[in-house]
Amino acid sequence: MLIGVIADDFTGASDIANTLAKGISPEGGLRTAQFAGVPDRSAPGDVDAGVVSLKSRTAPKDAAVADSITALNWLLAQGCRQIVFKYCSTFDSTKGGNIGPVAEALADALDARRVIFCPAFPTTGRTVYQGHLFVGDQPLHESGMARHPLTPMTDPDIRRWLGHQTLEPVGHLPLMDVTKDPETIRQALERIGHRFVVADAISDQNLLDLGTVLADARLITGGSGIALGLPRNILRAGSVPARDPHFRPIVGPEAVLAGSCSGATRGQIDRHAKRHPTFAIDVPGVMRGDITANTLIDFYRAHEGNAPLAYSSGSPDDVRAFQTEFGRDQVADKLDALFAETAVQLAKHGYRRIVVAGGETSGAVAQALSGALGAPAMAIGPEIDPGVPILSLGSNNTVALALKSGNFGTPDFFAKALRMMEIGT
């Protein structure tokens, strides 16, 4: 294994694993595996890039740092030469968030002299200009992220936001330098005196050029876009042969679980509900114990073959009301446990295609399924929509899994994902 990724949630891990596996340049991609947490065994010998999925995005700083260092040590033991700390392309955190502390700890452990921060993902409209993060044509704080129930982003200036989280001064590599040739970019980067540097990027070409400059960097941080050029570095050096992602279509019963409250996911649920059965999970009922995994299993089995969807997605106001009544952590823990147990029961009942929406929900489901199937490594298959691949879990009675971040995917994502799992393209 040459490249190791530490991802702070499971959908983000799938996102960057997809980037590494497919490649964007003619050279192709790398044989990539995604792991549900830090494995207790060595990685398969044919893996070029390994992505460790953590649930650390909203964790306390000390816990996030400890988990990330554990992941780092495992990746280094697998032979990784380069480490990527992957966070969301909307830099999800708070002023007191853990992106800065985790980056500091990883940089110290790797003795990294300079560390790039670049959450840009132009394919989905996330760009960085003058150190400010944009979603489409809107500054981050005007995009709806300011109302996020867990990580409200109220400032688009990534330099300033990161400055709240770290004692390191934060520098800036402006677009006027990033648009030049890689050697000139390298020279501009060397002139910046700070250890932490936010880099502008508004196109895939900017990210490819940054990737060339960072070929020998011990530590890189960013969204999945920062990895666009990394497979090319490995393949051009002749370290591994080009890999073609291989995916064998999977047939069998299907289910969709949605725990995201993002506007995009709510729209996808509304679209899906026009043609497929849906079950709105009553959160107070879950908290009282009236709604259990058996409730959902009964729903799925009653509608097998018609892409049934169960969801706990609500408006931000609904979410706040439930959090106020029952406690934020209590609601999150109960729903995560419900979705996790439901997924395990689905697999036991022979369900082979499972689509999950929401970062926290995806983490709970992937960890539970990985443990139940005894399969820590998830192979990366075809891309469903930008940033969301099909994952294959287990060697016998393989389960196809799609982990969708709340804001990702086209309006018909759920049906499309299930169809692609079955036909392979």
Q: Are residues 99 and 140 in the same domain?
A: yes
pLDDT band at 357 (very low <50, low <70, confident <90, very high): very high
b/e per residue 160-179 (b: at least 16 CB within 10 A)? ebbbebbebebbbbebebbb
Average pLDDT of span 45-72: 95
Tokens of 306: 């018609």
What's residue 376's pLDDT? 81
Q: What are phi and psi of 314, to 5 degrees?
A: -140, 175
Final residue of a domain: which of 208, 236, 264? 236
Q: What are the distances in angstroms from CA 65 to CA 36, 86, 106, 201, 333?
A: 17, 14, 8, 27, 21
| pTM score | 0.86
Residue 189, H or E segment: helix 182-191
pLDDT at 85 over 80: yes
Average pLDDT of span 21-29: 76
d(CA 366, CA 403): 8
Average pLDDT of span 338-342: 97
Q: Are residues 213 and 293 in the same domain?
A: no
Q: What is the CATH number of the domain that holds 360?
A: 3.40.980.20
Q: Are residues 177 and 28 in the same domain?
A: yes
Convert the pLDDT of each residue in 247-271 to its tens digit. Answer: 789 999 999 999 987 888 999 999 9
Q: Are residues 163 and 261 in the same domain?
A: no
Convert the pLDDT of each residue in 372-392 to its tens digit. Answer: 998 888 989 889 998 899 999
Final residue of a domain: which of 236, 268, 291? 236
b/e per residue 332-366 (b: at least 16 CB within 10 A)? bebbbebbbbbbbbbbeeebbbbbbbbbbbbbbbb
pLDDT band at 405 (very low <50, low <70, confident <90, very high): confident
Q: Are residues 378 and 285 in the same domain?
A: yes
C-alpha atoms less than 13 angstroms from C-alpha of 229 in its C-beta half-sphere = 19
d(CA 317, CA 335): 17
Convert the pLDDT of each residue in 118-151 to its tens digit. Answer: 999 998 899 999 999 999 999 888 887 777 777 8
Q: Are residues 178 and 259 in the same domain?
A: no
Q: Are residues 279 and 224 in the same domain?
A: no
Helix, strand, coil content of the chain in percent (nearest 5): 40, 20, 35
Contact 207, 226 (CB under 8 A): yes
Final residue of a domain: which of 203, 236, 269? 236
The lowest-confidence range among 83-92, 235-244, 282-291 is 235-244
pLDDT band at 182 (very low <50, low <70, confident <90, very high): very high
3-state secondary structure of 300: helix
What's residue 391's pLDDT? 93
Split into its structural domains, the chain has a count of 2
Q: Are residues 229 and 258 in the same domain?
A: no
pLDDT at 242 over 70: no
What's residue 24's pLDDT? 72
d(CA 249, CA 201): 36
Highest-pLDDT range among 188-197, 237-246, 315-324? 188-197
Contact 29, 77 (CB under 8 A): no
Q: Are residues 69 and 182 in the same domain?
A: yes
Contact 3, 82 (CB under 8 A): yes
Highest-pLDDT range among 78-87, 352-361, 393-402? 78-87
d(CA 382, CA 246): 8
> Which amino acid makes up residue 371?
G
| Angle formed at CA 15 by CA 13 and CA 21, multiple of 5 degrees | 100
The lowest-confidence range among 37-41, 146-150, 348-352 is 146-150
Q: Are residues 143 and 285 in the same domain?
A: no
pLDDT at 4 over 90: yes
Q: Are residues 210 and 293 in the same domain?
A: no
pLDDT at 192 over 90: yes
User: Which DSSP state fits 269?
Assistant: H
Is the Cα dihedral 339, 340, 341, 347 positive or negative?
positive
What's residue 407's pLDDT? 83
Which domain covers residue 205, as residue numbers?
3-236
Q: Are residues 321 and 178 in the same domain?
A: no
Give the start-end residues of each E strand in 8-96. Answer: 32-36, 49-53, 82-86
d(CA 207, CA 209): 5
What's residue 129's pLDDT? 98
* pLDDT cut 90: percent of the chain above it: 74
* pLDDT cut 70: percent of the chain above it: 98
pLDDT at 42 over 90: yes
What's residue 246's pLDDT? 66
pLDDT band at 245 (very low <50, low <70, confident <90, very high): low
Convert the pLDDT of each residue in 313-325 to its tens digit. Answer: 777 778 888 888 8
Average pLDDT, the chain: 92
pLDDT band at 25 (very low <50, low <70, confident <90, very high): low
Tokens of 100: 């800065």
What's residue 410's pLDDT? 95
Looking at the domain assignment, is residue 242 inside a domain?
no
What's residue 171's pLDDT? 97
Looking at the domain assignment, is residue 249 inside a domain?
no
User: Which DSSP state fits 291?
Assistant: S
d(CA 203, CA 386): 15
End-to-end Cα, the chain, rounded Å? 27
d(CA 157, CA 142): 12
Looking at the domain assignment, is residue 265 inside a domain?
yes
What's residue 143's pLDDT? 86
What's residue 374's pLDDT? 86
Q: In a 10 Å sphere around its CB, with 0-12 CB exposed, 13-18 middle and 19+ buried, how is residue 301 labelled? A: middle
pLDDT band at 406 (very low <50, low <70, confident <90, very high): confident
User: Which DSSP state fits 236?
Assistant: H
Higher pLDDT, 319 or 36: 36
> Which amino acid makes up residue 320?
R
